[in-house]
Amino acid sequence: MRKLTLNLPETEKIEINGNIFEIHKSDIDILNKTADLQLKYSDLKKDDFISIKAVVNETVAFIDEILGDGATVKISGGKPVSVMLAIEWLSAICSEISNINGEYIKEKYE
């Protein structure tokens, strides 16, 4: 019988506002979900508060999926997270994860 050992992904960590979080989603999962959320944001109307609230809640929930349950509460210090803040945070988190992956690829293949 032949044996195969595959590399397993390392659990990356990121520090945000003094809190250390493990990244619980792959880069492709994050890119796909972020693209879906961007489409939802682009279709929102300013006076459609129910849809806005739903997309914000989905964005906050996705940040918690990426960083672990309760991450947004830890980051915000328990304060409410606004629409623009949720978008800003997700963008910054995605950018940093992209940088982490870029550094990994550079180290591995250069």
What pLDDT does residue 63 have? 95
Residue 1 lies in a domain: no
Residue 92 lies in a domain: yes
Residue 11 lies in a domain: no
Residue 10 lies in a domain: no
In angstroms, how far apart are the furthest CA atoms of the chain? 64
Residue 66 lies in a domain: yes
Residue-range definition of the domain harbouring residue 32: 21-109
Query: pLDDT tens digits, residue range 49-96?
Result: 888 888 889 999 999 999 999 999 999 999 988 888 988 999 999 888
Residue 102 lies in a domain: yes
Q: How many domains does the chain have?
A: 1
CA distance 50 to 36: 18
